[in-house]
Amino acid sequence: MQINRYSFLLFCLITTVGAQSQSSFLTQQSKHLPLLDRLEIQSGKVSDNHFSGLKPYDRQLLVAYTQSLFDTSKQGTLSESRLSRVDQFNLNSFYGNHLEWMKEKRESYASKRPVLKKFYQTPAHFLAHYGKDYFITVDPLIQARLMQEQWDNRRARNRFINQRGLMVRGGVGEKIGFAVSASDVQERGPLFYREWVDSLKSVPGANFFKSFKTDAVDFIDARGYFTFRANSYIRFQAGYDRNFIGNGYRSLLLSDFSGNQLFVKINTRFWKLNYQNLFLELHAGAANNSVNNIVPRKYAAMHHLSMNVTPWLNVGLFEAVIFGRTDRYEFGYLNPVIFLRSVEGNLGSKDNALVGTDFRMNVLKKTQVYGQLMLDEFNFRIIRQQSDWWGNKNGIQLGVKYIDVASIKNLDLQLEYNRVRPFTYSHFDSVSNYAHYNQPLAHPLGANFKEYIALLHYQPLPRLTLQGRVIYWQRGLDSSAKGFNAGANIFRLSGDGRSSEFGYNLLSGVQNEGLNAQARISYEVKENIFIDFHALYRSNLKGNLPIQNSLVIGGGFRMNLWFREYDY
């Protein structure tokens, strides 16, 4: 039923023939994200043109947003002359990477010594051409990192990442925007990374993979999409990539931790509102990761409504449903405005539905407070009587971003707390869990945990960045001896191993606590070319088992790519 599966995608393409100007989206973990956070916090306002709780960001809207911050005729609240030297450098870099929307400044960004007169005519792109009504940029993707890992006082082992590929993005006729990238990756991650691969038959952040040499993997990271703008208010996007909902380091609603997904997105923005419809095709599992077998499909529909309630407060509402059908989409879930829970009831189904809310609040031009509340199941009558009911499934996030700590320019701190109760994201059948290709769609720890995160980002010089990260978690795990289901494993059926309706408190089960700490130094040699050095320490204690300690030290080079993290 391929026609059914992609008919909605085809419909979106046909209905956007009359599109006008187009854009592409900022890449995952872009180096410009800290600058954008800082500018919003320094402005003290939430913008009607930039809804930062939805990622990736539209590049065209970002350029318009940053320019409006400094435009006094449009009530801009910032002055470039008052920015720190590092912020001015980063803002200039941001504009230099988006010259398709900076026609009046392109000449000022021209390279003094382009390579062979054709390449690197601007510092940001290997190859770029800007025509009257089109543009195209081409950039290589390279990452090479060598690491040494030592665990439990054993002999150090070699680890590595080897990645190379190509990225192309552009716009044609002021009607179509597009971006495509593909890279081949060989990776031998730390021991705990390998344990994840072996236990779940999946690679964090990847889909299909193959074994490579001894305890390494080989996979292709391929992404691509088209964008359309029906009018000033409605934008369409269709492709194969990832999305993120929230303002935190983690998301309890939708994160970019799992692999790429086929999706169609409709984004409607007007007044102080932003409404996003997201339709996904997901993989139901990857237990048999073979080219000779088709991985079963499942589907998702998500809605997110965001509103700027006050000049400094944004509040969002979220709903999602995960469902499985035999090679077809459930067309009842294509309704872009109705509540999905009511559709589920009308269909007579028991699909996995979630609802949630999120917020962000800018305070005193120094701080941003944000958070999320997610409900996977809710029965107030039962919960009021006994809160340890297994169906009391919810998650809470609360965080704060504080810039220029202790009046030190470009020293930024982020603190975040995440808590998810047992059985959240799991379901009665293996298809409808909140996962994609055996990876969580939300938090990498699954459920039944508490997590505390501290992030420090310091850029003392324009090209030098120092970063520190500490993650501490507590979990309640299953007991293999008794077959007890503690509700932490979202891939396990919620009724499997559950002998009672009550007695499930947060962290019930075998106690697990861990620490993941990392320090990293990054130096930008040339635009989008980095040298990195990092040290990662991870400890993990499960029940009465000996504690597992791991120390990873490494360094590498990357070009037009983000730093590959092992933050779980």
- The reported pLDDT for the residue numbered 414 is 98
pLDDT at residue 166 tops 70: yes
pLDDT at residue 340 tops 50: yes
**CB crowding 292-303: b at 16 or more within 10 Å, else e:** eeebebbbbbbb
- The reported pLDDT for the residue numbered 286 is 57
Give the global pTM: 0.92
Residue 564 token pair: 């590959």
pLDDT at residue 19 tops 70: no
Please spell the DSSP secondary structure of 467-490, one letter per residue: EEEEEEEEEEE-BTTTTB--S--T
- The reported pLDDT for the residue numbered 479 is 83
The CATH class of 2-110+133-559 is mainly beta
Residue 92 token pair: 């200039």
Per the DSSP assignment, residues forming a β-bridge with 122 are 125
Residue ranges of E strands in 205-254: 209-212, 216-229, 234-241, 244-245
**Nearest-angstrom CA–CA distance, 406 and 410:** 10
Interval 83-118: pLDDT, tens: 999 999 999 999 999 999 988 889 999 998 899 888
Read off the pLDDT band of 2 (50, 70, 90). Answer: very low
- The reported pLDDT for the residue numbered 12 is 42
> Could you state, in order of their start, the residue ranges of all structural domains in the chain?
2-110+133-559
Selected residue with higher pLDDT from 2 and 425: 425
Residue 68, CA distances (Å) to 141, 269, 281 in order: 32, 17, 37
Read off the pLDDT band of 297 (50, 70, 90). Answer: confident
Read off the pLDDT band of 285 (50, 70, 90). Answer: confident
Kindly report which listed range (146-150, 430-434, 437-441) carries the lowest average pLDDT score: 430-434
- The reported pLDDT for the residue numbered 187 is 97
Residue 422's φ and ψ, nearest 5 degrees, are -60, 150
**Is 172:134 a contact under the CB 8 Å cutoff?**
yes
Query: What is the DSSP secondary structure assignment for residue 565, as one 8-state letter?
Result: P
**Is 557:531 a contact under the CB 8 Å cutoff?**
yes
pLDDT at residue 547 tops 80: yes
- The reported pLDDT for the residue numbered 490 is 93
- The reported pLDDT for the residue numbered 230 is 82
Helix (H, G, I), strand (E, B), or coil: what is residue 364?
coil
CB neighbourhood size of 167 (10 A): 21
- The reported pLDDT for the residue numbered 172 is 86
- The reported pLDDT for the residue numbered 8 is 43
**Nearest-angstrom CA–CA distance, 48 and 461:** 32
**Mean per-residue pLDDT of the chain:** 89
